[in-house]
Amino acid sequence: MAIDLKSLNYNQLSDLIARAQARQEELAKEKAAKLREKINALVKAEGLGLEEVFGGRTAGARGKARSKVKPKYRNPADHNQTWSGRGKRPRWFNAALSAGKKEKDLLIG
């Protein structure tokens, strides 16, 4: 099935690309599902479980479970707003610094 790409206008070409990418994703998912079935069958044939082979990590348990970090800073105007000191600074934190507060003034405890 040959498609004459030169005869397609911009919108037709964009639609073709989108449909081709969607089909490519479907094929990748099908391939992964078939491989998963093969692995499960092989593990089962050996009399083992997935947890034994993969160390207790199944498909849904990727990465480490993150524990919640205690808040380090508190908004003096609204004590319900806190920040752990990790990640992007919240707007209230930047506003407090701009208003002349120091980081140590916003510390909890």
35, part of any domain:
yes
Other residues' Cβ atoms within 10 Å of the Cβ of residue 96: 20
Q: Which residue has the tokens 């099908």?
A: 30
- pLDDT over 70 at 86, yes or no: yes
- Domain for residue 17, yes or no? yes
**5-11 mean pLDDT:** 93
Please tell me whether residues 77 and 49 are part of one structural domain: no
Secondary structure of residue 54 in the 3-state scheme:
helix
Is 2 a domain residue?
no
**Per the domain annotation, does 60 fall within a domain?**
no
CA distance 88 to 75: 15
pLDDT value of residue 84: 93
Q: CA-based angle 87:105:93, to the nearest 5?
A: 35
The percentage of residues in the chain with a pLDDT greater than 70, rounded to a whole number, is 92
Average pLDDT, the chain: 89
* Predicted confidence band of residue 53 (pLDDT cuts 50, 70, 90): confident
pTM over 0.85: no
76 against 109, higher pLDDT:
76
Residue 58 has pLDDT above 90, yes or no: no
pLDDT value at 78 more than 60: yes
Structure tokens at 109: 């405890």
The residue segments making up the domain with residue 96 are 73-106
